[in-house]
């Protein structure tokens, strides 16, 4: 069977097109969350994206964006989050900067807050329902509270800083389920990284 050379120009174009599509889906998701939640600080917005993805996956076995997450100190953050936030300024949302005192540390910190412009994003009914449900459930919590909640996820607790975390991992609430998943991943060691998420999405709902 003939295999495609990953260095072939058309294959590189295909990967870029896939990434562009995923980035567009992320921007649409962010815009929909802001349209429902109103003015939202950056950390809180990142966590609403996280829980929107998790809750949608638990229902459908699919990802909204097709992107993975990165293990950061404040919790998992979806790939390309900062890049897409910057791209959407002035067209999909506005950005405000304020100074917030951190009394426990005796310092001031910049806080970035985003607010939707006229929402031109139209999601499918199931996706919009997911966004509405997530904002209704988590929208009254602060960014710190949501970060603390994300720290309970086994995928965050058992991963290394800056390590990629797949959505299928994040959707697991119990340690035992997470370790079952790790056993499955060991069987996929020979799979290309680009297809690992697809394999996990396929296998885990049946576990």
Query: What's the confidence (pLDDT) of residue 50?
Result: 98
Structure tokens given for 4: 């495609």
pLDDT at 42 over 90: yes
Q: How far apart are CA 149 and CA 47, in angstroms?
A: 9
Matching residue, tokens 């997911």: 130
The pLDDT of 112-133, averaged and rounded, is 88
Tens of pLDDT, residues 94-115: 999 998 887 777 888 889 999 9
Domain positions in the chain: 9-206
Q: How far apart are CA 78 and CA 165, in angstroms?
A: 9
Which helix (H) or strand (E) element contains residue 93? strand 93-102
* 59 vs 182: which has the higher pLDDT: 59
pTM over 0.85: no
The pLDDT of 119-131, averaged and rounded, is 84
Whether residue 157 contacts residue 178, with contact meaning beta carbons closer than 8 Å, is answered with: no
Find the range with the poorest average confidence among 12-26, 128-142, 168-182: 12-26
Q: How far is CA 130 from CA 22, 46, 94, 133, in A?
A: 18, 16, 23, 5
The pLDDT of 45-65, averaged and rounded, is 96
Opening angle at CA 166, ends 182 and 9, nearest 5: 115
Tens of pLDDT, residues 6-17: 444 544 445 456
């Amino acid at each position: 069977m003939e295999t495609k050379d990953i260095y072939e120009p058309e294959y590189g174009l295909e990967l870029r097109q896939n990434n562009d599509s995923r980035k567009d889906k992320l921007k649409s998701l962010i815009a929909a969350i802001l349209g429902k939640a109103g003015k939202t600080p950056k950390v809180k917005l990142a966590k609403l994206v996280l829980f929107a993805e998790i809750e949608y996956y638990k229902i459908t076995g699919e990802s909204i964006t097709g992107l993975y997450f990165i293990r950061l100190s404040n919790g998992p953050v979806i790939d390309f989050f900062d890049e897409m936030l910057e791209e959407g300024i002035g067209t999909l949302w506005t950005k405000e900067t304020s100074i917030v005192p951190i009394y426990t540390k005796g310092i001031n910190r910049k806080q970035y807050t985003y607010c939707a412009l006229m929402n031109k994003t139209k999601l499918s009914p199931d996706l919009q329902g997911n966004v509405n449900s997530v904002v209704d459930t988590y929208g009254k919590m602060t960014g710190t509270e949501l970060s603390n909640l994300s720290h309970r996820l086994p995928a965050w607790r058992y991963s290394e800083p800056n390590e990629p975390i797949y959505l299928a991992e994040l959707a697991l609430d119990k340690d035992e389920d997470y370790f079952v998943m790790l056993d499955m991943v060991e069987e996929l060691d020979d799979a290309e990284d680009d297809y690992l998420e697809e394999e996990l999405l396929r296998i885990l709902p049946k576990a």
